[in-house]
Structure 1
Amino acid sequence: MRNTFTKISLFILIGILISGCASEKKVPNGKKLLTKNVIEVNNKNEKKELIHNQLYQKPNSAILGFPFRLNLYNLANSKHDSIYKAKFIANPEKYNRKSKWLSAKQVNRLGQSFWYAGIHEFLMKSGEAPVILDEKSTKKSEALLKSYYFNNGFFNTKTKYKIDSIGAKKAKIKYTVNTGNAFFIDSLQTKIISPILDSLYNSKKTNSLIKIGKQYKTDDFNAEIARITSHFRNNGIYLFQQNYINFDIDTINKKNKVGVDLKINDYSYREGDSTKTKPFIAYKISEVNIYTDFKANKSKSEKKDTTKVTYNNFNLFSKGKLKYKPKAISDAVFITKGSLYSDTKTNLTSRYFSNLKVFNYPTIQYDFDTKDSTQNALIANIYLTPRKKFSFGTSLDLTHSNIQDFGIVATTSLSIRNIFNGAETFDIAGRGNIGSSQDLANPSDNFFNVFEYGIDMKLNFPRIFMFFNPDKIIPKSMIPTTTLNVGYAKQRNIGLDKENFTSTLTYNWTPKRNVIARLDLVNIQFVKNINLGNYFKVYSSSYNTLNSIAREYPSTNPDFFDDKKNLIIESGTNGFLGSSLGNNPSIVLNDIDRKIVNSLNERKIRLTENNLIFASNFTFTKTTKSDLNDENFYSFKTKVESAGNLLSLIARASKQLDNQGGSNTVFQVEFSQYIKNELEFIKHWDLNRKKIVAFRSFIGIAIPYGNSNSIPFSRSYFAGGSNDNRAWQSYSLGPGRVASFNDFNEANLKIAMSAEFRFNFFGQLNGALFVDAGNIWNVLDNVTDEKAVFTGLKSLKDTAIGSGMGFRYDFNFFVVRLDLGFKTYVPSEEYNKKWFRDYNFSNSVLNIGINYPF
């Protein structure tokens, strides 16, 4: 296998080398392929991507130095049509023979088939034509470099270029830049004619981005224009636009100094054939009209059968009876009667209505109030188009997993908008799954022997519901919502056949732009295991370990085994556990085996116990990502969760008796008590030309206390999988340096880091090289195995490292991802076998995912 792989790799390498040698084969005679741009700034080689991006003409893109797309293009034959015809011209008999069993028309069409034409068109489309050096483009690049440095305060920049031939058809360009000294701002004078603008400017003058002593940068002036415009328009200056702001730059008789004059003229307008000016004035809102059932194909002025309701100085119009509570609509409007015009309030109103999910994106327009004698009044008109009251959805999916050989999942959902006439939304969804599993005992020989069904309900309110008025803490400008979720699911012949009940009461709000806060005031989960006897069928690795140990001891009761000397599930497995553990075991195990069997038993108890989690948590998320295409950002997320404290108080108050394990119970179920905290940081660097470096770090810890000595399985951490350490499958890594024999490994501490270099092959196909590092550990719980316990910084040597490569195809609305991970550092191996021991395809892990991992 390895020899075959070596031969294939060598074959591919030779092919790449051959292709690379021919990278200029489609360069016309007398022309040269641009292979490299060199920029030298003040006698130093400049490698910054930002500077090189100023150049008008760049070499062909490369992946790790190899011009992959150029070589794809070179493989194509642009004259495939004439070559196809030429082979018949040279051999007419061949054409006649083909025409006998194919028509002449079909033979001609064959030349347009994928094999003759399509493959070449695909290669040319996916590839990249050679970049031919063009001196006109070189001169443009020189001018762009000079402009870049000029805009950064180097007014005396001098540039030149030199073309160096690297062969008959290859060349590189060297740009030389001498920037001279930078210019700094030494004065700032203002001339603002309109008194109100002059007053507004001076009120925020300290926020100016143009400061004395600062190096001149054109970007600062553009940002200052945007700042001034925003400040004016948010304080009533409705007619103000950016083009009224002018900066005069004076460098006469100044050595490396710049004098700045800011000028803002009066409002100009046309009256007849002449242009007139007048001072700007601040406009106030005299009236707010809200049209609650506007239709785009109807006239805005149509008032037939229109009902008007006035509430808190808002005029609400509707066809017939108003279908919404006035407060629900007015709460979404930040434009108020008597207030100054403001762009921010307009945008905030649009965001709030969009967030309601009851209306389409609103249209907000302003008209001059001709009835107002002061001539500085505006009428705000808000046009709302309601979405449909009811909407239905269905889906059908085919599934496959390690439990189901074949499965069919069907879901149906119903959404009801404005259910209580307060812009609330109610969603109810039912799901069902039927599947087939050959691993289950199936005396009736039914094909479908796996079942699951569930129902989820969600009620969303566009406000915060609390026992006090939270408006001073969370004002409506933060667009708050309250969501109540209730869900129930039941399984049959799936794992331990769980019944799962969940319920949450959630508050969401946005304190600032790109900042999201979420409070789960109540987060309840009750998990009941029905089929406990199926444990060792589900956790087969645990069964195999226990079975192999039982076989080693002659004192094991023969009744525990079947005819093939395998432990019978469940009588044999429980019998062996009972006989080998305890104070007076009938089967005396050696120390190592007793430790393993005891661990298996403790894990069985842990994973078969019912869980009652009554928690509260708070999540804070901040990101600088401006839109979906922004690839130069960071995001930070933290979550704090506490569980069991309220139930502990209730249990004590009701004098609830302890169970046999010494823990308090509610409804005869031990409730979980713990504190949990998570931190996640993601950073992307955009290197341009579809090259991105992405980094993610995560740390999470859950500490049990009080009523618990371990964390519930559903709240613990695991390592491995398509969004984690991709060299290991989900749940297969850790904890610590344990070479675990469990099917699902989990712990209560996790540290993880990942880095990716993402690049484009061609079109929508992208690639990635990645390194993942991390592991899980036990800390401050009931696990005592020193290999699994985190004891301090020295335990970080048990951090697993995986590396690999991936392919991603972007369908625009989602990304399909294939990642191949290789085990680079395996902490569970012996000291001299940790690095690159399993770094091969036979031990690699293929991960299939949707969208990027981070």
Structure 2
Amino acid sequence: MQTRNLLYGALAVLFATSCSNTKYLAEGELLYVGGSVKIEGKDIPKSECKNLKKELEDLLRPKPNKKILGLRPKLYLYNIAGEPKKEKGFRYWLRYKVGEPPVTFGKVDLKYNSDILQNYVENHGYYQAQTTSDSTRHGKKATAEYTVKPGKQFKIRNVIFPSDSTDALVKAIGRTKRRSLLKPGEGYNLDVIKDERERIDARLKQKGYYFFNADYLKVQVDSTNGDHTVDLTIVVKDETPDNAREVYKINDIVIYPNYSITESKKITQSDSITKYKDFTIIDPENTFNPRIYDRTLYFKKGDLYNRTDHNLSLSRLVNLGTFKFVKNEFRVSPRFENTLDAYYYLTPLPKKSIRVEVLAKTNSANYTGTELNVNWSNRNTFKGAELLTATVFGGLEVQVSGQNKGFNVYRFGGEVNLFWPRIIAPFVKIESSEGFVPRTKATLGYEFQKRIKLYALNTFKGSFGYQFKENARKEHQLNLTEITYVSPANVSELYLSQIDANPSLGKVIEKQLIFGPTYSYTYTNTMQKRKKNTIYFKGSLEAAGTIAGLATGADASSGDVKNLFGVPFSQFVKAETEFRHYFKFSENSQLASRIIVGAGLPYGNSTALPFIKQFFIGGTNSIRAFRARSIGPGTFRSEVDEDSFLPDQSGDLKLELNTEYRAKLFSVVNGAIFVDAGNIWLMKDDTNKPGAKFSGDFLNELAVGTGAGLRFDLSFLVLRLDLAFPLRKPYLPDGQRWVLDQVAFGNGSWRKENLVFNLAIGYPF
């Protein structure tokens, strides 16, 4: 009751302060609180009327001050801050960065808005429309009202494309009719007509009409039918130049691989010219092997010009990652009629570079720290635009809260990667519809990780595989082989003593040898900012030790464990999928949701998944109301002394669900409220972990938490602060797991046990 009264009081204060915004206005000024459009007419269906009203109201300018829950807090903050004496400091920041100046009625031009509405409805086929405007004053506030009488909309009766002509251009236009955007029966719309001209122009560009332009087309409108219909006729303008009516082919292809944008004179000496297939290469320094142009450029001599090959060639040159600037131009060939010479001016990035990075980072285990990376790269290793990178790194990670505080992690190591801008495999050719370059990647790496007071791990990694993007939305990664070898060192007595109480901890310090193919597929359209609904999906599959297990006949379940190089190799299949959905309410608010499902099945030479391949849950990027890796498996809970470290709880199966409402509060500050749920389970019974096995009652074993947070979007990074608490604890007895009725923010012992603060960098998903 006390909390409810406090909330009501806060709302009353906000309402009162919002109402006081008008007292800051100058004498005679009125606060503009919005405009509305009324549609009058019996000839328009209700659904059409509703859509038209919304479209017209979106056109009104200016927009009134922003409202949140019916209030205008930004305007209030602008007013109470007052005029600052200097252009810095808290008052200036509050008034001009957080606040928002009043939108007064004097800024509203009723006639201008009326003209905009009139033009819009006429351009959408309401030729006999009438628009009027008026305003209403309420105290020191004013609104604008617009009345639109659109009449009946004109519909398209016929769309007439030119035909039966000896003109090749006119015939080519006629052949584009099948995919026309103009449909009989639909309403007249000037925007669609403009799009249709652009569509026809794009189709002609595919057929060699390099010099054609959408402006050379006009659509004649005949509205004399008398039944609110129009006939549309596609016509080529008489003033269309001759070259726009001709089809062009590619003649010479000239490439300048070392072009400098500061040089006005190009190299033309005969001794600097190299001929390779259809290409003329002017590269006296022999910087690149000519074969990269054959793989990158779509045009060949004699090809009909088309815009797709034009754009794909440029995209592939850019996606090589070797050139700083890529410029292309076509010139009419002086030697042959209706041909174009293609010129490519390429400015390389520095061949070798070194970069030093100091990073702040967080991970799912609630560790926060810093890392130093030194990166060296060679962008043209074997003169074929191959990219060789070498990285050395070192860092420290600490847990700022939680039971593992003090058990810090030190790590250092290095990694070498070599990328080839092609698929190195016999009889395999992959093309992208958007010019992305497929890559072959080889990796070698080493990492030393030291967990203070516990143990150290030496990890060696190697892989060879392929990366390929079909387009901007779809990406594939296939590693033909991925090898990981883990060897422990410096295991402490503290850790060894804990193994006696929790034998599963012994898996962490076992030697591990993992090898086999991996594959992942990613689809996302989140880059499409105008879409209301966007998604992200990633699915991965890993199969380790399959061939080796079959060849050796390994059967760990019967004690027949096989070794390679003196180490038992792992044999398992693991799959994981992650799906995210983003629903945009407005430019400044959205609902983000995620579901993760994963499963791993050991067999043959393994009775359990290797520790580094098992699933974990909880922490800053997972279920934020629980400490990292502290949930499950199942209803099991590890009981440890407060002075000891909290062991990582792992499982063979994982289910996680998250949803988060995000909204911009002001300036760079965003807020969020969220709910997380999930758990992990084992595939088999473990006498040391009762309740850990997956069963049909898994929904009753989900952990659930909720909370709120702030995100500081600083452009170069997003600093995230989340405060969460559990709603459901799976390790409690059945029937007592929901703990919502126990929430007591005023109780110190409850806060200590349940409130979890998460400090992280970046969004959780």
Could you say which TM-score interval applies, normalised by the shorter chain? 0.7 to 0.9
Query: Structure 2 vs 1, CA of residues 648 and 287 (structure 1 numbering), >3 Å: closer, same or farther?
Result: same
For the residue of structure 1 that corresponds to 2:740, the secondary structure is coil
Q: Unmatched 5+ residue regions in structure 2?
A: 41-45, 401-405, 640-645
2:718 aligned residue (815, 819, 838): 815
1:389 aligned residue (351, 360, 364): 351
| Residue pairs, 1:536-547, within 5 angstroms | 536-537=494-495
* Residue of structure 2 equivalent to 1:591: none
| Residue pairs, 1:197-212, within 5 angstroms | 197-212=169-184
CA distance in structure 2 between the aligned counterparts of 1:436 and 1:721, rounded to whole angstroms: 14
Do residues 702 (structure 1) and 660 (structure 2) align? no
CA distance in structure 1 between the aligned counterparts of 2:252 and 2:243, rounded to whole angstroms: 25
Query: Structure 2 vs 1, CA of residues 185 and 381 (structure 1 numbering), >3 Å: closer, same or farther?
Result: same
* Cα drift, residue 240 of structure 1: 1.1
CA distance in structure 2 between the aligned counterparts of 1:194 and 1:817, rounded to whole angstroms: 67
1:612 aligned residue (502, 513, 516): 513
C-alpha distance after superposition, 1:209-258 (max 9, x if no partner): 22223344444333323322221112211101121222223332343433
Question: Which residue type is aligned with residue 712 of structure 1?
Answer: P
* Residue of structure 1 equivalent to 2:403: none
For the residue of structure 2 that corresponds to 1:465, the secondary structure is coil
Contact 1:291 1:383 in 2 (8 A): yes
1:361 aligned residue (304, 325, 334): 325
Question: Which residue type is aligned with residue 298 of structure 1?
Answer: E
* Residue of structure 1 equivalent to 2:663: 759
Question: What is the aligned-residue identity percentage?
Answer: 26
Contact 2:430 2:438 in 1 (8 A): no
* Residue of structure 2 equivalent to 1:105: none
* Residue of structure 1 equivalent to 2:412: 453
CA distance in structure 1 between the aligned counterparts of 2:716 and 2:248, rounded to whole angstroms: 43
* Residue of structure 2 equivalent to 1:315: 280
CA distance in structure 2 between the aligned counterparts of 1:748 and 1:144, rounded to whole angstroms: 62
Do residues 773 (structure 1) and 676 (structure 2) align? yes
CA distance in structure 2 between the aligned counterparts of 1:627 and 1:325, rounded to whole angstroms: 37
* Residue of structure 2 equivalent to 1:848: 759
* Residue of structure 2 equivalent to 1:424: 386
* Residue of structure 1 equivalent to 2:536: 635
* Residue of structure 2 equivalent to 1:189: 160
Number of aligned residue pairs: 736
Q: TM-score, normalised by structure 2?
A: 0.85
* Cα drift, residue 139 of structure 1: 4.6
CA distance in structure 2 between the aligned counterparts of 1:629 and 1:14, rounded to whole angstroms: 37
Larger radius of gyration: 1
| Residue pairs, 1:219-368, within 5 angstroms | 219-265=191-237, 268-269=240-241, 277=242, 280-304=245-269, 307-320=272-285, 322-368=286-332
Query: Structure 2 vs 1, CA of residues 330 and 701 (structure 1 numbering), >3 Å: closer, same or farther?
Result: same
For the residue of structure 2 that corresponds to 1:214, the secondary structure is coil
Q: TM-score, normalised by structure 1?
A: 0.77
Q: CA RMSD in A?
A: 3.9
* Residue of structure 2 equivalent to 1:53: 58
Contact 2:208 2:247 in 1 (8 A): yes
Contact 2:685 2:693 in 1 (8 A): no
1:804 aligned residue (686, 695, 707): 707
Query: Structure 2 vs 1, CA of residues 319 and 613 (structure 1 numbering), >3 Å: closer, same or farther?
Result: same
CA distance in structure 1 between the aligned counterparts of 2:428 and 2:530, rounded to whole angstroms: 36
CA distance in structure 2 between the aligned counterparts of 1:448 and 1:609, rounded to whole angstroms: 20
CA distance in structure 2 between the aligned counterparts of 1:435 and 1:809, rounded to whole angstroms: 22
CA distance in structure 1 between the aligned counterparts of 2:108 and 2:358, rounded to whole angstroms: 58
CA distance in structure 2 between the aligned counterparts of 1:733 and 1:406, rounded to whole angstroms: 20
CA distance in structure 1 between the aligned counterparts of 2:171 and 2:329, rounded to whole angstroms: 28
Query: Structure 2 vs 1, CA of residues 758 and 614 (structure 1 numbering), >3 Å: closer, same or farther?
Result: same
| Residue pairs, 1:467-506, within 5 angstroms | 468-471=426-429, 479-494=437-452, 495-506=454-465
* Cα drift, residue 127 of structure 1: 0.6
* Cα drift, residue 73 of structure 1: 0.4
* Cα drift, residue 304 of structure 1: 4.6
Contact 2:249 2:338 in 1 (8 A): yes
* Cα drift, residue 698 of structure 1: 3.1
For the residue of structure 1 that corresponds to 2:669, the secondary structure is strand
CA distance in structure 1 between the aligned counterparts of 2:417 and 2:626, rounded to whole angstroms: 36
Contact 1:720 1:733 in 2 (8 A): yes
CA distance in structure 2 between the aligned counterparts of 1:811 and 1:395, rounded to whole angstroms: 18
CA distance in structure 1 between the aligned counterparts of 2:186 and 2:12, rounded to whole angstroms: 56
CA distance in structure 2 between the aligned counterparts of 1:750 and 1:743, rounded to whole angstroms: 18
Question: Which residue type is aligned with residue 257 of structure 1?
Answer: T
* Cα drift, residue 149 of structure 1: 5.0
Contact 1:697 1:753 in 2 (8 A): yes
C-alpha distance after superposition, 1:190-212 (max 9, x if no partner): 23778333333344432222222
Question: Which residue type is aligned with residue 308 of structure 2?
Answer: T
Query: Structure 2 vs 1, CA of residues 853 and 799 (structure 1 numbering), >3 Å: closer, same or farther?
Result: same
Do residues 127 (structure 1) and 99 (structure 2) align? yes
For the residue of structure 2 that corresponds to 1:617, the secondary structure is strand
For the residue of structure 2 that corresponds to 1:718, the secondary structure is coil
CA distance in structure 2 between the aligned counterparts of 1:664 and 1:61, rounded to whole angstroms: 69
Question: Which residue type is aligned with residue 413 of structure 1?
Answer: N
For the residue of structure 2 that corresponds to 1:199, the secondary structure is helix
2:617 aligned residue (698, 716, 719): 719
* Cα drift, residue 769 of structure 1: 2.7
Contact 1:157 1:177 in 2 (8 A): yes
Do residues 745 (structure 1) and 649 (structure 2) align? yes
Question: Which residue type is aligned with residue 61 of structure 1?
Answer: K
Contact 1:194 1:265 in 2 (8 A): no
* Residue of structure 2 equivalent to 1:837: 742
2:468 aligned residue (472, 495, 509): 509
Question: Which residue type is aligned with residue 615 of structure 1?
Answer: G
* Cα drift, residue 721 of structure 1: 2.9
CA distance in structure 1 between the aligned counterparts of 2:230 and 2:113, rounded to whole angstroms: 27
C-alpha distance after superposition, 1:295-349 (max 9, x if no partner): 11112533258511111111111124x1222112321111211111222222212
C-alpha distance after superposition, 1:744-764 (max 9, x if no partner): 23323333333333333333x
CA distance in structure 1 between the aligned counterparts of 2:75 and 2:649, rounded to whole angstroms: 47
Contact 2:505 2:647 in 1 (8 A): no
* Residue of structure 2 equivalent to 1:587: none
* Cα drift, residue 130 of structure 1: 1.7
Contact 1:194 1:280 in 2 (8 A): no
CA distance in structure 2 between the aligned counterparts of 1:145 and 1:475, rounded to whole angstroms: 41
* Cα drift, residue 806 of structure 1: 2.9
Query: Structure 2 vs 1, CA of residues 139 and 691 (structure 1 numbering), >3 Å: closer, same or farther?
Result: farther
Larger deviation, residues 223-232 vs 68-77: 223-232
Query: Structure 2 vs 1, CA of residues 382 and 406 (structure 1 numbering), >3 Å: closer, same or farther?
Result: closer
CA distance in structure 2 between the aligned counterparts of 1:680 and 1:252, rounded to whole angstroms: 58
* Residue of structure 2 equivalent to 1:89: none
Contact 1:676 1:701 in 2 (8 A): yes
* Cα drift, residue 844 of structure 1: 3.2
* Cα drift, residue 624 of structure 1: 2.8
C-alpha distance after superposition, 1:758-798 (max 9, x if no partner): 333333x2323332333123253455867444434x53344
1:728 aligned residue (617, 626, 630): 626
Query: Structure 2 vs 1, CA of residues 341 and 66 (structure 1 numbering), >3 Å: closer, same or farther?
Result: same
CA distance in structure 2 between the aligned counterparts of 1:760 and 1:689, rounded to whole angstroms: 9
* Cα drift, residue 642 of structure 1: 2.2
CA distance in structure 1 between the aligned counterparts of 2:122 and 2:728, rounded to whole angstroms: 50
* Residue of structure 2 equivalent to 1:90: none
Contact 1:748 1:776 in 2 (8 A): no
